[in-house]
Structure 1
Protein backbone atom coordinates (compact mmCIF):
# COMPACT_ATOMS: atom_id res chain seq x y z
CA UNK A 1 0.00 0.00 0.00
CA UNK A 2 1.41 3.37 -0.95
CA UNK A 3 1.86 6.29 1.40
CA UNK A 4 -0.64 8.40 -0.52
CA UNK A 5 -3.47 5.87 -0.27
CA UNK A 6 -2.71 5.20 3.41
CA UNK A 7 -2.80 8.94 4.15
CA UNK A 8 -6.06 9.33 2.23
CA UNK A 9 -7.54 6.40 4.14
CA UNK A 10 -6.53 7.84 7.52
CA UNK A 11 -7.83 11.28 6.54
CA UNK A 12 -11.17 9.78 5.42
CA UNK A 13 -11.43 7.89 8.72
CA UNK A 14 -10.76 11.05 10.74
CA UNK A 15 -13.31 13.05 8.72
CA UNK A 16 -15.91 10.31 9.16
CA UNK A 17 -15.28 10.14 12.90
CA UNK A 18 -15.56 13.92 13.22
CA UNK A 19 -18.84 13.89 11.30
CA UNK A 20 -20.32 11.15 13.49
CA UNK A 21 -19.15 13.00 16.61
CA UNK A 22 -20.72 16.22 15.30
CA UNK A 23 -24.03 14.42 14.70
CA UNK A 24 -24.02 12.81 18.17
CA UNK A 25 -23.17 16.11 19.90
CA UNK A 26 -25.92 18.12 18.22
CA UNK A 27 -28.46 15.32 18.55
CA UNK A 28 -27.81 15.18 22.29
CA UNK A 29 -27.97 18.97 22.51
CA UNK A 30 -31.27 18.97 20.59
CA UNK A 31 -32.82 16.24 22.72
CA UNK A 32 -31.84 17.92 25.97
CA UNK A 33 -33.49 21.17 24.90
CA UNK A 34 -36.56 21.63 27.14
CA UNK A 35 -38.60 23.19 24.34
CA UNK A 36 -37.71 20.56 21.74
CA UNK A 37 -40.71 18.31 22.37
CA UNK A 38 -43.08 21.27 22.52
CA UNK A 39 -41.76 22.65 19.25
CA UNK A 40 -41.89 19.23 17.60
CA UNK A 41 -45.49 18.61 18.70
CA UNK A 42 -46.51 22.09 17.62
CA UNK A 43 -44.86 21.65 14.22
CA UNK A 44 -46.56 18.27 13.68
CA UNK A 45 -49.91 19.68 14.77
CA UNK A 46 -49.55 22.62 12.38
CA UNK A 47 -48.59 20.30 9.55
CA UNK A 48 -51.61 18.09 10.24
CA UNK A 49 -53.97 21.08 10.32
CA UNK A 50 -52.57 22.42 7.06
CA UNK A 51 -52.80 19.00 5.41
CA UNK A 52 -56.40 18.42 6.49
CA UNK A 53 -57.59 21.92 5.74
CA UNK A 54 -57.99 21.45 1.98
CA UNK A 55 -59.08 24.87 0.71
CA UNK A 56 -57.78 26.52 3.84
CA UNK A 57 -54.32 25.40 2.76
CA UNK A 58 -54.33 28.42 0.43
CA UNK A 59 -54.03 31.59 2.46
CA UNK A 60 -55.06 35.02 1.24
CA UNK A 61 -51.40 36.02 0.97
CA UNK A 62 -50.78 33.04 -1.32
CA UNK A 63 -53.38 34.30 -3.79
CA UNK A 64 -50.92 36.94 -4.95
CA UNK A 65 -48.25 34.33 -5.66
CA UNK A 66 -49.04 32.60 -8.98
CA UNK A 67 -46.79 29.67 -8.14
CA UNK A 68 -48.72 28.92 -4.93
CA UNK A 69 -52.04 29.22 -6.72
CA UNK A 70 -50.85 26.89 -9.49
CA UNK A 71 -49.55 24.36 -6.96
CA UNK A 72 -52.87 24.51 -5.08
CA UNK A 73 -54.82 24.15 -8.36
CA UNK A 74 -52.87 21.08 -9.46
CA UNK A 75 -53.13 19.52 -6.00
CA UNK A 76 -56.89 20.00 -5.92
CA UNK A 77 -57.39 18.55 -9.42
CA UNK A 78 -55.28 15.55 -8.48
CA UNK A 79 -57.18 15.00 -5.23
CA UNK A 80 -60.48 15.34 -7.10
CA UNK A 81 -59.41 12.69 -9.60
CA UNK A 82 -58.24 10.36 -6.83
CA UNK A 83 -61.52 10.67 -4.93
CA UNK A 84 -63.47 10.06 -8.13
CA UNK A 85 -61.47 6.92 -8.76
CA UNK A 86 -62.25 5.73 -5.22
CA UNK A 87 -65.96 6.49 -5.69
CA UNK A 88 -66.08 9.27 -3.09
CA UNK A 89 -68.06 11.71 -5.19
CA UNK A 90 -68.69 14.45 -2.62
CA UNK A 91 -65.01 14.79 -1.69
CA UNK A 92 -64.09 14.79 -5.38
CA UNK A 93 -66.60 17.55 -6.12
CA UNK A 94 -65.26 19.59 -3.19
CA UNK A 95 -61.70 19.47 -4.49
CA UNK A 96 -62.70 20.08 -8.09
CA UNK A 97 -64.71 23.13 -6.95
CA UNK A 98 -61.62 24.45 -5.21
CA UNK A 99 -59.65 23.99 -8.44
CA UNK A 100 -62.29 25.80 -10.50
CA UNK A 101 -62.43 28.64 -7.96
CA UNK A 102 -58.70 29.42 -8.26
CA UNK A 103 -58.41 28.62 -11.98
CA UNK A 104 -57.37 31.46 -14.26
CA UNK A 105 -59.83 30.37 -16.96
CA UNK A 106 -62.70 28.67 -15.16
CA UNK A 107 -65.03 28.56 -18.16
CA UNK A 108 -62.58 26.44 -20.15
CA UNK A 109 -61.98 24.15 -17.18
CA UNK A 110 -65.73 23.76 -16.70
CA UNK A 111 -66.11 22.80 -20.36
CA UNK A 112 -63.45 20.12 -19.97
CA UNK A 113 -65.04 18.87 -16.76
CA UNK A 114 -68.48 18.79 -18.39
CA UNK A 115 -67.11 16.53 -21.12
CA UNK A 116 -65.22 14.23 -18.75
CA UNK A 117 -67.45 13.96 -15.68
CA UNK A 118 -70.74 12.08 -15.46
CA UNK A 119 -73.72 14.48 -15.70
CA UNK A 120 -74.81 14.01 -12.07
CA UNK A 121 -71.30 14.74 -10.75
CA UNK A 122 -70.97 17.81 -12.98
CA UNK A 123 -74.35 19.06 -11.73
CA UNK A 124 -73.19 18.66 -8.13
CA UNK A 125 -70.07 20.65 -9.00
CA UNK A 126 -72.08 23.48 -10.56
CA UNK A 127 -74.43 23.75 -7.58
CA UNK A 128 -71.55 23.76 -5.09
CA UNK A 129 -69.37 26.34 -6.88
CA UNK A 130 -70.89 29.53 -5.39
CA UNK A 131 -70.41 28.37 -1.80
CA UNK A 132 -66.81 27.35 -2.43
CA UNK A 133 -66.05 30.72 -4.00
CA UNK A 134 -67.44 32.52 -0.95
CA UNK A 135 -65.44 30.32 1.39
CA UNK A 136 -62.16 30.67 -0.51
CA UNK A 137 -62.42 34.40 -1.18
CA UNK A 138 -64.44 35.98 1.64
CA UNK A 139 -62.53 39.28 1.40
CA UNK A 140 -63.10 39.56 -2.36
CA UNK A 141 -66.86 39.12 -1.86
CA UNK A 142 -66.82 41.96 0.67
CA UNK A 143 -64.81 44.19 -1.68
CA UNK A 144 -67.18 43.42 -4.58
CA UNK A 145 -70.15 44.38 -2.40
CA UNK A 146 -68.35 47.58 -1.36
CA UNK A 147 -67.61 48.39 -5.01
CA UNK A 148 -71.28 47.91 -5.91
CA UNK A 149 -72.34 50.28 -3.10
CA UNK A 150 -70.03 53.00 -4.41
CA UNK A 151 -71.55 52.93 -7.90
Structure 2
Protein backbone atom coordinates (compact mmCIF):
# COMPACT_ATOMS: atom_id res chain seq x y z
CA UNK A 1 0.00 0.00 0.00
CA UNK A 2 1.18 3.52 -0.79
CA UNK A 3 1.71 5.69 2.26
CA UNK A 4 1.30 9.47 2.48
CA UNK A 5 5.05 10.21 2.45
CA UNK A 6 5.46 8.46 -0.88
CA UNK A 7 2.55 10.37 -2.40
CA UNK A 8 3.93 13.70 -1.19
CA UNK A 9 7.46 12.85 -2.34
CA UNK A 10 6.16 11.82 -5.77
CA UNK A 11 4.08 15.00 -6.06
CA UNK A 12 7.05 17.15 -5.08
CA UNK A 13 9.27 15.36 -7.61
CA UNK A 14 6.70 15.85 -10.40
CA UNK A 15 6.35 19.55 -9.50
CA UNK A 16 10.14 20.02 -9.45
CA UNK A 17 10.62 18.26 -12.80
CA UNK A 18 7.76 20.29 -14.33
CA UNK A 19 9.23 23.57 -13.07
CA UNK A 20 12.69 22.63 -14.33
CA UNK A 21 11.23 21.66 -17.71
CA UNK A 22 9.40 24.97 -17.98
CA UNK A 23 12.57 26.90 -17.12
CA UNK A 24 14.55 25.02 -19.77
CA UNK A 25 11.79 25.57 -22.38
CA UNK A 26 11.52 29.28 -21.53
CA UNK A 27 15.29 29.78 -21.74
CA UNK A 28 15.51 28.00 -25.10
CA UNK A 29 12.56 29.97 -26.44
CA UNK A 30 14.06 33.23 -25.21
CA UNK A 31 17.44 32.50 -26.81
CA UNK A 32 16.31 31.15 -30.18
CA UNK A 33 12.99 32.79 -31.09
CA UNK A 34 13.39 36.44 -32.23
CA UNK A 35 9.63 37.07 -32.06
CA UNK A 36 9.53 35.87 -28.47
CA UNK A 37 12.48 38.12 -27.55
CA UNK A 38 10.78 41.14 -29.13
CA UNK A 39 7.59 40.30 -27.28
CA UNK A 40 9.49 40.10 -23.97
CA UNK A 41 11.26 43.43 -24.63
CA UNK A 42 7.98 45.09 -25.60
CA UNK A 43 6.36 43.78 -22.43
CA UNK A 44 9.28 45.06 -20.34
CA UNK A 45 9.01 48.50 -21.99
CA UNK A 46 5.26 48.56 -21.43
CA UNK A 47 5.73 47.64 -17.76
CA UNK A 48 8.36 50.39 -17.35
CA UNK A 49 6.06 52.97 -18.97
CA UNK A 50 3.19 51.96 -16.70
CA UNK A 51 5.47 52.16 -13.66
CA UNK A 52 6.67 55.65 -14.70
CA UNK A 53 3.10 56.77 -15.34
CA UNK A 54 2.00 55.53 -11.91
CA UNK A 55 4.98 57.28 -10.26
CA UNK A 56 4.18 60.53 -12.08
CA UNK A 57 0.53 60.35 -11.04
CA UNK A 58 1.49 59.70 -7.42
CA UNK A 59 3.98 62.60 -7.48
CA UNK A 60 1.39 64.94 -9.00
CA UNK A 61 -1.17 63.86 -6.40
CA UNK A 62 1.33 64.58 -3.60
CA UNK A 63 2.09 67.98 -5.12
CA UNK A 64 -1.63 68.82 -5.39
CA UNK A 65 -2.16 67.69 -1.80
CA UNK A 66 0.73 69.82 -0.60
CA UNK A 67 -0.50 72.81 -2.60
CA UNK A 68 -4.05 72.40 -1.31
CA UNK A 69 -2.81 72.03 2.25
CA UNK A 70 -0.63 75.12 1.89
CA UNK A 71 -3.48 77.18 0.47
CA UNK A 72 -5.71 76.22 3.39
CA UNK A 73 -3.10 77.13 6.01
CA UNK A 74 -1.60 80.43 4.77
CA UNK A 75 1.61 80.30 6.85
CA UNK A 76 2.21 84.01 6.30
CA UNK A 77 -1.18 85.04 7.64
CA UNK A 78 -1.98 86.09 11.19
CA UNK A 79 -2.10 83.60 14.03
CA UNK A 80 -5.67 83.17 15.34
CA UNK A 81 -6.42 84.60 18.79
CA UNK A 82 -9.03 82.02 19.83
CA UNK A 83 -7.27 79.15 21.70
CA UNK A 84 -9.18 76.41 19.84
CA UNK A 85 -8.53 77.98 16.44
CA UNK A 86 -4.91 78.56 17.42
CA UNK A 87 -4.49 74.87 18.38
CA UNK A 88 -6.07 73.73 15.11
CA UNK A 89 -3.90 76.18 13.17
CA UNK A 90 -0.82 74.88 14.99
CA UNK A 91 -1.64 71.24 14.13
CA UNK A 92 -2.21 72.12 10.46
CA UNK A 93 1.11 73.95 10.37
CA UNK A 94 2.90 70.93 11.83
CA UNK A 95 1.28 68.59 9.29
CA UNK A 96 2.11 70.91 6.42
CA UNK A 97 5.69 71.31 7.64
CA UNK A 98 6.14 67.54 7.91
CA UNK A 99 4.75 67.09 4.41
CA UNK A 100 7.14 69.68 3.02
CA UNK A 101 10.10 68.22 4.92
CA UNK A 102 9.35 64.73 3.60
CA UNK A 103 9.57 66.02 0.01
CA UNK A 104 13.32 66.50 0.30
CA UNK A 105 16.02 69.11 0.78
CA UNK A 106 14.63 71.41 -1.91
CA UNK A 107 11.58 72.01 0.29
CA UNK A 108 13.52 72.50 3.56
CA UNK A 109 13.44 76.33 3.48
CA UNK A 110 9.68 76.36 3.03
CA UNK A 111 9.26 73.68 5.72
CA UNK A 112 11.44 75.71 8.10
CA UNK A 113 9.21 78.75 7.57
CA UNK A 114 6.11 76.71 8.31
CA UNK A 115 7.66 75.13 11.41
CA UNK A 116 8.76 78.58 12.59
CA UNK A 117 5.18 79.83 12.24
CA UNK A 118 4.04 76.76 14.22
CA UNK A 119 6.55 77.65 16.94
CA UNK A 120 5.09 81.16 17.04
CA UNK A 121 1.56 79.75 17.35
CA UNK A 122 2.44 77.27 20.13
CA UNK A 123 1.85 78.21 23.77
CA UNK A 124 5.30 76.94 24.87
CA UNK A 125 7.67 77.72 21.99
CA UNK A 126 10.93 76.77 23.70
CA UNK A 127 9.62 73.32 24.60
CA UNK A 128 8.38 72.81 21.04
CA UNK A 129 11.73 73.98 19.68
CA UNK A 130 13.50 71.29 21.73
CA UNK A 131 11.06 68.61 20.52
CA UNK A 132 11.49 69.68 16.90
CA UNK A 133 15.26 69.68 17.31
CA UNK A 134 15.11 65.97 18.14
CA UNK A 135 12.78 65.04 15.28
CA UNK A 136 13.72 67.26 12.33
CA UNK A 137 16.75 67.10 10.04
CA UNK A 138 19.62 69.36 11.06
CA UNK A 139 19.33 71.52 7.92
CA UNK A 140 15.76 72.48 8.83
CA UNK A 141 16.75 73.26 12.42
CA UNK A 142 19.55 75.54 11.19
CA UNK A 143 17.04 77.42 9.04
CA UNK A 144 14.57 77.66 11.94
CA UNK A 145 17.29 79.04 14.20
CA UNK A 146 18.19 81.62 11.54
CA UNK A 147 14.53 82.65 11.36
CA UNK A 148 14.44 82.82 15.15
CA UNK A 149 17.55 85.02 15.23
CA UNK A 150 16.10 87.31 12.56
CA UNK A 151 12.79 87.45 14.44
CA UNK A 152 14.43 88.36 17.74
CA UNK A 153 16.78 90.94 16.25
CA UNK A 154 14.52 92.30 13.54
CA UNK A 155 11.26 92.58 15.43
CA UNK A 156 7.98 90.90 14.69
CA UNK A 157 6.78 89.32 11.51
CA UNK A 158 3.39 90.60 10.44
CA UNK A 159 0.54 88.90 12.26
CA UNK A 160 2.62 87.11 14.87
CA UNK A 161 4.41 87.69 18.12
CA UNK A 162 8.11 87.13 18.60
CA UNK A 163 9.17 84.07 20.52
CA UNK A 164 10.46 86.30 23.31
CA UNK A 165 7.06 87.96 23.64
CA UNK A 166 5.36 84.57 23.70
CA UNK A 167 7.71 83.38 26.46
CA UNK A 168 7.03 86.55 28.45
CA UNK A 169 3.28 85.97 28.11
CA UNK A 170 3.73 82.46 29.53
CA UNK A 171 5.69 83.83 32.50
CA UNK A 172 3.03 86.41 33.35
Q: Distance in 1 between matches of 2:119 and 2:109?
A: 15
- Matched residue pairs, number? 88
Q: Could you list the per-position Cα deviations for residues 46-103 of structure 1 after superposition, in whole angstroms to 9, with x for gaps in the alignment?
A: xxxx7373231x35xx31x101111110011000000001111111101100000111
Q: What is the match of residue 51 of structure 1?
A: 72
Q: What is the match of residue 110 of structure 2?
A: 91
Q: Which runs of 5+ in 2 are unaligned?
A: 1-70, 166-172
Give the counterpart of 1:80 among 94, 97, 100: 97
More helix by percentage: 1
Q: What is the match of residue 24 of structure 1?
A: none
RMSD, aligned α-carbons: 2.5
- The structure number with the bigger radius of gyration is 2
Q: Distance in 2 between matches of 1:121 and 1:131?
A: 15
Q: What is the match of residue 69 of structure 1?
A: 86
Matches within 5 A, 1:1-151: 51=72, 53-56=74-77, 58=78, 62-63=80-81, 65-87=82-104, 88-131=107-150, 134-137=156-159
